[in-house]
A and B are shown apart, each in its own frame.
Chain A
Amino acid sequence: MSLNRARWVLAAALLLFTVRAGLYIQLLPVNEMPDELEHVRKIILARDWPRVANDRAAAERLMREVSADYYLLANRLDQRPPLDQVEGRVPPPERRTAYFRFCGWLLRVLGVESIPRAWYLIRALSWLFGLAVLLCGWGAARSLAPERPILAAATAGFLALLPQFGAMSAVASTDKPAELAGAVFFLLMVRIARRPARLAWLGAGLIIICLPLVKKTTFFLVLVALAAALPWWRGWLGRLRHGRLVGLSLSALVTVAFLGAVFVPWGARWTVKLAGMPLLRIWHPLFDDRVFRQPGMINALVEHVRPLSPAFWHQVYFNLQSLFQSWWGTFGFQTLPLPAAWYWSAWLLVLLALAGLARLLFRPGREWSMEPWQGRALGLLVLGAGLNLAVILTRQIVFAPGSLSQGRYMFPSLVPWAVVGCLAFLALWPRRLQAPALVLGLTWLAAMDLAGLWRTIVPYYYSLVL
């Protein structure tokens, strides 16, 4: 495939994604993807915060207006209910993260007063986030394999048709900034692996610094950044006169920081603030309520990981299954899966991609041999995808036992999954069969998407089958 044609594919993919997001915005009822109503509450509160910050009654009235408009938008009632009959709980102000503040600011700047209009405008903003992720996917694939435009075309097509990504790009969700942060970060990682430039490092550094403002599901990016910096770090140490001493000192510093986060009350409290729980639960009043009333990561790991227990593996299986299904497409609050046949065929596609990855790694031949920097970039993408998977499974199984993993938690690493998945899928076929295989793959994905829209969402929410 020529670069020119791949660019046409990108244009078609962007248009297709836009149309699909429009359809999902139209067909998904409000608050039928996780926590949408709660997110809109916080955004509307952020929009009017200068007005209601010191007026509790006004804030409560505002939240009642959101509830009333929600009932009207959701078609639960024929007319807007009276404000005194709906909920007016005001979310705690400290929970307004950067996403809520940004959306609130945008609504203020645009002068959007109507709550239904604001709600759908936020949904449309999610579509813009999705478009940006798609462009990052294209950019990462182009940077990774500039000699193979078909990879960039496949990545763009895949991202344009993935049902869950389309649905998440049509609702107000805190996952959107996390997706975008991850997408830009991995684009920069590939660029850094190709040619370490200060600007790329600066961008990656900025993303890492801003992660606490985005979402905890993105924290694994810090480890990817450290892995990316490793070759540079080694080179820098080698050039220093006392490089070995500096290396040892920094290792000692990391150890001290770890010990400080565990055993120094101030460090433990900051760990709770950043990571949600302390590394180790310590029963001492000096560590205050925030530390010693929580389980502690190491304690929880010891308590919940039981490799000899069938119940533990049963829980792992359930989590992997729910993660897999909702990565491809499960709507509602994990309540509306696609028909089982789609997941079976998705497994087939995954098996093909795994076979392709095995070929890429062990028998690449002349056709798939890579430059060292390409191997490094691919390694960073695989590391990112694997770390995200490990973090999500650990979080759900160890720290929230009994809960199920959701595919959207994996979307910060959507670009690595898409790029590596498409590359592995293409690597399975000889050159002349790559385009037909891609045609089949994209047609299957388009059919899965149509099944989600018209055979799953429409019958469930509207009791109709077209």
Chain B
Amino acid sequence: MVFLKKLLPLVAGLLVCLGLAGAFFGFGPGLVSREFQDGWRFNTGQLPPHAWIGQTFTSRLDGLARIDVLLGSFGLPLVKPLTLELTAVDRPRQDHLARPRPLVDQGVTIPLHGPLQIGQTFLPRRDGLSGVRVLLDAGSMPAPASVRFRLWEAGVIDLPGELLREVVVPAADLPAWGFFEFAFRPLEGSAGRPLLFTLDLAGVPRHTWRDKTFQGLLLRFISDQGQPDGQPWQGVNPEGSAWRPEISVGKDYSFNEPLTLWPANRHLKWRYWQGDLAFGLAYPPALEPGPVLRRAGRRGLAISDNSFNSFSFKPLEDSKGRSFLFSLKTTPGPGREPVALADWALRYPGGCLVVDGVPYEGGLAFRAYNAAAKGTVWRELRDKVTRNKPAPWSGPWFIAALAAAHLLLVGLLVGLVWPRA
């Protein structure tokens, strides 16, 4: 009995060692990833309940079993749960990809107030333009006010062309800070057509202008000249620029430029800024997800910020050579929506970013894993970690010896600390 009691710490240590070995090396299949993308990361915006974001890819191996996606919660401890759905698609990449717009915190906030108009020229890549999403803050707008959105032909140099669409939205329906989509009837033949949208206010009570807390409608402007303490945003939108009428009275602190006020009886001159409003374009869906092949969820508390988050599912045996689309949707729950992080360069040749069914230039930061035999994974790891390294780290069995010694020593440490009778 005494002998058995003396053995207990040793047995406990061994059990801990075996338990950790089983948890980290024993259970589940080995996985290898051949499809991945992780470059410069930009914020694709929070995922509202009705929206989805995804990525197409082609699997080079059988046994597709897990997809990791880089997600951000921007420090929030709790975000809404996410569901990943995997569907098959015919073509992983389409022609005429839309250009994504980064939701960035850089740039300056500019107020739209009085009878001022602010606008942006742009060149849609696809037909059927159906809306423009603008980053705005209507937090200080009075209830009876509304915002008028107008879509024009871009015109020549300083004058807008034909009015194409007009949308008026009550200020109460606009977000305190976020993208709002000014949706309109799809515009056929929009691909390659220079367009301009303008925003202005209506119905703001006169007494509001005297209220010092009233800031107007706030928009975000990203200068391609660069901020005083930042990098220039060259090429944010090379196909257009921000636009506003220019009348000089006083100074605008945001731009160190003339403050713009609208005189009723003066001729207007239009002026282009070197930079862009934070905005994006909306099109009708071109890529509808088919039947769901696999579905996996992740609870809000388990979503890691600025990190690859795994969605595991039962391996898809015949995945080799097939093209897939995975889409992410938020499901109801406490907290705000998480954000998927993407690369806006088209680095991954086997697919592209898809937002609400519209294929975009760029791609989500993701990794698709396929099931593989443990031995294959170990051999691949050994080859990768010993390559070009000096001795002893170039030894083929060194890493296996270290890994085994690691587990044994953890067991020994626990055994030594284990309470004695």
Q: Which chain A residues have a beta carbon within 8 Å of chain B's beta carbons?
A: 1, 5, 8-9, 12-13, 15-16, 19-20, 22-23, 25-27, 72-73, 75, 114, 116-117, 120, 153-154, 157, 160-161, 317-318, 321, 335-341, 344, 432, 435-436, 438-439, 442-443, 446-447, 450-451, 454-455, 458-460, 462-466
Specify which of B307, B381, B409, B414 is in contact with A19 (CB 8 Å cutoff): B409
Specify which of A72, A157, A465 is in contact with B413 (CB 8 Å cutoff): A157
Q: Which chain B residues have a beta carbon within 8 Å of chain A's beta carbons?
A: 12, 16, 20, 23-25, 30-34, 36, 66, 68, 75, 301-308, 367, 369, 374, 377-378, 380-381, 384-385, 387-390, 393, 398-399, 402-403, 405-406, 409-410, 412-414, 416-419
Q: With A12-B412, A26-B393, A464-B377 known to touch, is A450 a contact of B20 (CB < 8 Å)?
A: yes
* Pair B406/A19 contact, Cβ less than 8 Å: yes
Specify which of B305, B377, B385, B416 is in contact with A9 (CB 8 Å cutoff): B416
Specify which of A336, A344, A438, A455 is in contact with B24 (CB 8 Å cutoff): A455
Specify which of B302, B374, B388, B402 is in contact with A341 (CB 8 Å cutoff): B302
Interchain pairs with CB closer than 8 A, number: 149
* Pair A19/B413 contact, Cβ less than 8 Å: no
Contact partners of A455 in chain B: CB under 8 A: 24
Contact partners of B390 in chain A: CB under 8 A: 114, 116-117, 120
* Pair B384/A120 contact, Cβ less than 8 Å: no
* Pair A19/B402 contact, Cβ less than 8 Å: yes
* Pair A23/B75 contact, Cβ less than 8 Å: no
Alpha-carbon distance A15/B411, docked complex (angstroms): 12
Contact partners of A336 in chain B: CB under 8 A: 307
* Pair B417/A435 contact, Cβ less than 8 Å: yes
* 4 cross-chain pairs, A with B, having the tightest CB-CB distances, nearest first: A435-B419, A465-B31, A463-B33, A16-B409
* Pair B393/A20 contact, Cβ less than 8 Å: no
* Pair A465/B409 contact, Cβ less than 8 Å: no
Specify which of B25, B32, B75, B406 is in contact with A16 (CB 8 Å cutoff): B406
Q: With A19-B405, A446-B20, A450-B20 known to touch, is A466 a contact of B419 (CB < 8 Å)?
A: no
* Pair A116/B388 contact, Cβ less than 8 Å: yes
Interface centre among A1, A12, A161 (most CB of B within 10 A): A12
Closest to A8 in B: B416
20 A-B pairs with C-beta separation under 8 A = A1-B417, A9-B413, A19-B409, A23-B403, A26-B385, A116-B390, A318-B75, A339-B304, A340-B303, A442-B417, A443-B16, A446-B20, A446-B413, A450-B23, A459-B31, A459-B367, A464-B380, A464-B381, A465-B369, A466-B378
Contact partners of B418 in chain A: CB under 8 A: 435, 439
Could you tell me the distance in whole angstroms from the C-beta of B124 to the nearest C-beta in chain A? 34
Alpha-carbon distance A442/B413, docked complex (angstroms): 9
Contact partners of A160 in chain B: CB under 8 A: 413
Closest to B73 in A: A340
Closest to B70 in A: A335
Q: With A20-B406, A459-B367 known to touch, is A464 a contact of B413 (CB < 8 Å)?
A: no
Contact partners of A459 in chain B: CB under 8 A: 31, 33, 68, 308, 367
Contact partners of B385 in chain A: CB under 8 A: 26-27, 462
Q: A340-B301, A447-B20 are in contact. List 10 more A-B contacts (CB 8 A).
A: A16-B409, A26-B402, A160-B413, A321-B75, A338-B304, A340-B305, A442-B414, A446-B16, A459-B33, A466-B377
Q: With A19-B405, A22-B402, A26-B393 known to touch, is A466 a contact of B417 (CB < 8 Å)?
A: no
Could you tell me the distance in whole angstroms from the C-beta of A347 to the nearest C-beta in chain B? 10
Contact partners of A13 in chain B: CB under 8 A: 413
Q: With A344-B301, A450-B20, A464-B33 known to touch, is A12 a contact of B413 (CB < 8 Å)?
A: yes
* Pair B409/A15 contact, Cβ less than 8 Å: yes
Contact partners of B374 in chain A: CB under 8 A: 466
Contact partners of A432 in chain B: CB under 8 A: 419
* Pair B25/A466 contact, Cβ less than 8 Å: yes
Contact partners of A153 in chain B: CB under 8 A: 416-417
* Pair A436/B414 contact, Cβ less than 8 Å: no
Alpha-carbon distance A151/B39, docked complex (angstroms): 46
Closest to A17 in B: B409
* Pair A5/B416 contact, Cβ less than 8 Å: yes
Q: With A12-B412, A439-B417 known to touch, is A335 a contact of B367 (CB < 8 Å)?
A: no
